[in-house]
Amino acid sequence: MSKNNMNIRMAKKEDAQLIIKYIKDLADYENELDQVCVTTQRLDQEMFADQGAEALIAEIDGEPVGFAFFHRSFSTFLGKQGLTLVDLYVEPQMRGKGCGKQMLAYLADLAVSSGMERLEWWVHDWNHDAAEHYRNWGAFQVPYIRVYRLCDEPLKALAEECSYKTNENEECLFETERLRILRAKETDIDDIIALESHRENRDYLWIGTYEEHKNEINDPNHELVVFQEKVSKEVVGYALIRLDYASKKWELRRIAISKKGNGFGKEVMNGFFKYAFDKLEMNRFWLDVYPDNLIGIKLYEGLGMHCDGTLRQNYKSERGYLDQIIYSMLYEEYKRREQKA
């Protein structure tokens, strides 16, 4: 949008330093400069990479003279998106030339052309000159709304009272006393491969590639999960599960624990039983284990799993042809076990 020697354009990533300058200039004008902590790196990520907000740059004779910072919003009453103007600033020596109005007009045009029906912003109660301009342009003050803000320690304190953690609960299969069993994300794959490759685990596990694990995450018939310690948030293990919904079978294909000797394996297995039989209503829970995995065999037998037999020399590995012992538990066995407990 141009008017004579004026130009209004969308901001680019290269404008990050200029935008920060204008943010600070506006904050100084509003006596709030001490509250500004934005950095170029943060702006690059939150604004440009994540597309969390956008900005306009006003220019006269090719030189920047102001900016407008805005983001998309949504009206539940209208059932439509709108635009929210966060900051509008014009350099003092360039005011009175129509830059502020042209930036608002640009946003109005963007809203209308995008099928939106609302453009709104906040004004300091002491900024009477700006409020007068806005009224002259047809804007009105919403009389029944006050803005409330929660930040810093009060924000964190309220977040601690949340019983349904936003990021965790969405991908959490279940919780045990000390662990959260979370669906793995692509960012977890390096940790999973490190667990598989650890000297105490690698002889008993297939070590998957990055692409294989990525496919498992996206496969509806598999669950790739990590075990997160509740207190430390540290990942202390992982498991790969194959689900056969037609035959109601849960196959525990791989499981590994990094912090051994803490009872995490038993805790996770009991959680798996409960989730498989009570939540998913599976009929059979089974796994295979190599004969030299004495810790695993002791765990599975201690949990009451049935030894179905041995598949002799069923798997070829770097160690040669290996036997696989099959352990399983049936739904009816699980229920009897729970009744005894």
Residues 5-61 have pLDDT tens digits of: 899 999 999 999 999 999 999 999 999 999 999 998 889 888 987 788 999 999 999
Unique residue bearing structure tokens 């407990």: 341
pLDDT band at 171 (very low <50, low <70, confident <90, very high): confident
Percent of the chain scoring above 70 in pLDDT: 96
Specify whether the CB–CB gap between 305 and 248 falls below 8 A: no
Confidence band, pLDDT 50/70/90 cuts, at residue 162:
confident
**3-class SS at 50?**
coil
Say yes or no to pLDDT of 170 above 60: no
- pLDDT tens-digit map of 58-72: 999 999 999 999 999
SS3 of 335, please?
Answer: helix
Is 331 tagged catalytic?
Answer: no
Q: Which of 337, 326, 261 is nearest to 300 (CA)?
A: 326
Which has more pLDDT, 319 or 32?
32
Whole-number pLDDT of residue 167: 52
- Domains in the chain and their CATH numbers? 2-156 (3.40.630.30), 164-340 (3.40.630.30)
Whether residue 1 has pLDDT greater than 50 = no
Which DSSP category does 208 fall into? -
Q: Are 251 and 244 in contact (CB under 8 A)?
A: yes
pLDDT band at 134 (very low <50, low <70, confident <90, very high): very high
Burial class of residue 14, CB neighbours in 10 A (0-12, 13-18, 19+): exposed
Q: What is the sign, positive or negative, of the torsion defined by CA atoms of 331, 337, 340, 341?
A: negative
Q: What is the pLDDT of residues 192-243, one digit of tens each?
A: 999 988 888 888 888 889 999 999 999 989 999 999 998 888 999 999 999 9
Burial 280-291 (b: 16+ CB within 10 A, else e): eebebbbbbbbe
Which is catalytic among the residues 134, 204, 275, 334?
134
Distance set, CA 78 to CA 57, 74, 248, 257 (Å): 30, 8, 46, 51
Q: Token match 């075990």: residue? A: 227
Please tell me the predicted confidence (pLDDT) of residue 169: 46
The model's pTM is 0.52
Nearest 5°: CA angle at 183, between 339 and 271? 15
Average pLDDT over residues 260-274: 94
